[in-house]
């Protein structure tokens, strides 16, 4: 018997109107209930589990919640969400899954619970939308049709688990033959929407026209974008330091369903810093599966966590492929939801995987450096330099505090978190040096 509660949301994809160095796309506000389109989310409420020891019983009736082993619909990514975005889950989350079409169950896998440091800044339209929920990081488990989960409170915190715990099971859906993951919208031109923006040489990059803000008439921008001129020469006759644009797989290329996200785009004024993250989704994926991982994270961010769109501005897989993240234009200052308190005037680059104890592949670090050289260069930022940003409020810096960062920083520099993992964080010095070299700074 496959009895399960499914919150399955049909999705539709819109192709983006692309100009050189500018990729923008439109969207409708809510995903329509359209059958037979890729992707779905099953949302299962957790139940109290009898405590197995006296210390847990004395803590709270909600010291342990979960679901027993059961059949469910197909999914490839899991996570846990709860009602109050400001409530922290002080405890552990573990899951077991069964591979689709088999009787083989995995061992217990840990889900990263410290995820509240990712998200929109306090006081922003996205952060104060009333839709955002507390959430763990999502975990990629591959194609599965069975699950068991247990959530245990830490006794030392003497606090119950957050209210409204639910297990989210995400099915990324199949990518269509033309690279889409749903139906085209009528208000965009699919014929002009590439799945990949090719790499450019330095001279080709410098020859690209100035990027102009292109907000769709229906867009509701949180911060109206200012015209950001191309980085200016440091001295008379000197060329600006802009790295060659790397190859970028667009949202259409990885199958983003544009009707899933909120309508319009949100912008900030500039890109002065790049914060590097790991997604903490595990390293079991193949590079061929990376688009499905991205579609799963996207659905988890929007449907399960209540965000307006994919949180990061860009993503990089273990093979060094670079992907467009949050919609609004790859060359523009798109406001993301990646580094709580410091999303303004920055961009977030997420490396798919978990790099606390695993060393990131050299290809991924190189991709981060190349992407940063280009995007930071468009706004005149030196990858080896320092920048001062004003905190919007985080667990590490109070709102209004001016903080000095490396232009290429790790998430942990702005918040008390392990992200991007110790092994990836240790590679950021290498990335800064390489990125400056790609900009021609020697």
Mean pLDDT for back-to-back runs of 10 residues, the chain (442 residues):
39 34 37 53 94 46 86 98 93 97 96 83 88 96 98 83 97 70 36 83 84 39 47 56 97 96 96 98 97 98 97 98 98 96 97 97 98 98 98 88 97 93 98 97 84
Other Cβ atoms less than 10 A from the Cβ of 55: the count is 10
Using an 8 Å Cβ cutoff, are 9 and 237 in contact? Answer: no
Using an 8 Å Cβ cutoff, are 120 and 126 in contact? Answer: yes
Our CA angle for 357, 144, 101, nearest 5°, is: 130
**3-state helix, strand and coil shares in percent for the chain, rounded to the nearest 5:** 15, 25, 60
* Interaxial angle between packed helices 362-378 and 428-438, expressed in degrees from 0 to 180 and rounded to the nearest 10: 50
pLDDT of residue 58: 43
pLDDT of residue 50: 73
pLDDT of residue 51: 59
Cα separation, 69 vs 331, in Å, equals: 46
Long-range CB pairs of 391-394, under 8 A, 24+ apart, other chains included: 391/341, 391/342, 392/121, 392/122, 392/123, 392/124, 392/340, 392/341, 392/342, 392/343, 392/344, 393/121, 393/122, 393/123, 393/340, 393/341, 394/117, 394/340, 394/341, 394/342
- Structure tokens given for 56: 């847990």
- Structure tokens given for 141: 């488990």
Q: What is the DSSP letter of 203?
A: H
Q: Which residues pair with 97 in a beta bridge?
A: 147
Other Cβ atoms less than 10 A from the Cβ of 41: the count is 20
Q: Which residues pair with 171 in a beta bridge?
A: 40
Residues 77, 80, 84, 86, CA torsion sign: negative
Q: Which residues pair with 22 in a beta bridge?
A: 19
**Closest C-alpha among 427, 225, 219, 440 to residue 332:** 225
Using an 8 Å Cβ cutoff, are 410 and 419 in contact? Answer: yes
Helix/strand/coil for 60: coil
Cα separation, 437 vs 369, in Å, equals: 9
Q: Are strands 346-351 and 273-278 parallel, antiparallel or unpaired?
A: parallel
Our CA angle for 337, 122, 314, nearest 5°, is: 10
- Predicted model pTM: 0.84
Residue found under tokens 């309508």: 263
- Structure tokens given for 310: 């994919």
pLDDT of residue 187: 31
Q: Is 177 left (phi over 0), alpha (psi -120 to 50) or beta?
A: alpha
What's the number of CA atoms in the CB half-sphere (13 Å) around residue 141? 32
**Closest C-alpha among 314, 326, 331 to residue 245:** 331
54: which residues sit within 8 A by CB, 6+ positions away? none
Residues 328, 329, 332, 338, CA torsion sign: positive
Nearest-Å Rg of the Cα atoms of the chain is 21
């Amino acid at each position: 018997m496959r009895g399960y509660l499914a919150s399955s949301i049909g999705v539709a994809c819109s192709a983006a109107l692309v100009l050189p160095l500018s990729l923008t796309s439109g969207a409708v506000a809510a995903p329509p209930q359209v059958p037979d389109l890729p992707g779905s989310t099953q949302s299962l409420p957790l139940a109290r589990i009898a405590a197995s020891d006296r210390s847990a019983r004395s803590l709270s009736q909600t010291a342990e919640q979960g679901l027993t082993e059961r059949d469910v619909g197909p999914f490839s990514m899991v996570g846990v969400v709860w009602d109050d975005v400001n409530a922290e889950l002080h405890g552990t989350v573990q899951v077991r899954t069964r591979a689709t079409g088999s009787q083989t169950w995995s061992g217990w896998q840990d889900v990263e619970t410290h995820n509240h440091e990712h998200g929109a800044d306090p006081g922003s339209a996205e952060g104060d939308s009333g839709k955002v929920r507390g959430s763990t990081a999502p975990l990629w488990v591959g194609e599965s049709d069975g699950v068991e989960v247990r959530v245990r409170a830490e006794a030392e915190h003497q606090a119950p688990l957050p209210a409204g715990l639910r297990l989210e099971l995400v099915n990324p859906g199949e990518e269509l033959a033309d690279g889409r993951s749903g139906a085209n919208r009528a208000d965009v031109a699919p014929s002009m929407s590439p799945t990949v923006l090719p790499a450019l040489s330095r001279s080709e990059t410098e020859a690209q026209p100035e990027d102009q803000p292109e907000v769709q008439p229906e867009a509701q921008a949180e911060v109206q974008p200012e015209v950001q001129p191309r980085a200016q020469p440091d001295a008379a006759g000197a060329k600006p330091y802009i790295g060659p644009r790397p190859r970028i797989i667009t949202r259409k290329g990885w199958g983003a369903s544009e009707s899933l996200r909120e309508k319009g785009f949100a912008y900030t004024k500039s890109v002065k810093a790049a914060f590097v993250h790991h997604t903490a989704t595990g390293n079991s994926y193949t590079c061929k599966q990376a688009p499905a991982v991205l579609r799963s994270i996207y659905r988890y961010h929007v449907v399960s966590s209540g965000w307006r769109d994919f949180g990061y501005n860009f993503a990089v897989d273990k093979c060094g492929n670079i992907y467009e993240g949050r919609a609004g234009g790859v060359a523009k200052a798109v406001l993301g939801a990646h580094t709580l308190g410091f999303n303004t005037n920055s961009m977030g680059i997420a490396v798919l995987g978990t790099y606390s104890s695993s060393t990131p592949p050299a290809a991924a670090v190189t991709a981060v450096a190349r992407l940063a050289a280009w995007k930071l260069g468009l706004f005149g930022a030196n990858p080896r330099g320092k920048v001062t940003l004003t905190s919007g409020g985080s667990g590490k810096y109070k709102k209004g505090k001016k903080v000095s960062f490396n232009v290429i920083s790790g998430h942990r520099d702005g918040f008390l978190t392990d992200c991007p993992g110790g092994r990836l964080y240790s590679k950021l010095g290498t990335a800064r040096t390489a990125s400056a070299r790609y900009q021609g700074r020697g």
